[in-house]
Amino acid sequence: MVRIATNALKNRSVLKTATYGIMHLTVAFIVAYALTGSIAIALSIGLIEPFVQTIFYNIHEKLWSRAGTPRKPHTHSLAA
């Protein structure tokens, strides 16, 4: 049961990342076109920037997930 829930969370995270990437690509293109008036430049920016941002978004999500997970306390043994 736990394994199914874990897989569902991973699938949801992947889907969330993909849809965020599509949205970001669209917004980046529109903003770049509005600023430059050039379709070529807007496409370049619109494709490169969201790709990089999506990778960092996924990393950000994983870091936030870890931050919410309690860590095991370290136990140090001084006895040899």
pLDDT digits (tens, 9 = 90+) for 49-67: 878 887 998 999 999 988 8
What is the rounded distance in angstroms from the CA atom of residue 14 to the CA atom of residue 36? 32
Q: How far is CA 77 from CA 27, 40, 70, 72, in A?
A: 55, 63, 22, 15
* Cβ atoms of residues 50 and 18 within 8 Å: no
> Which pTM does this prediction carry?
0.53
Q: What's the chain's average pLDDT?
A: 83
Share of the chain above pLDDT 70, in %: 80
Per-residue pLDDT of 2-39, as tens digits, reads 666 677 778 888 898 889 878 888 998 999 999 999 99
Residue 3 backbone phi and psi in degrees, to 5: -65, -40
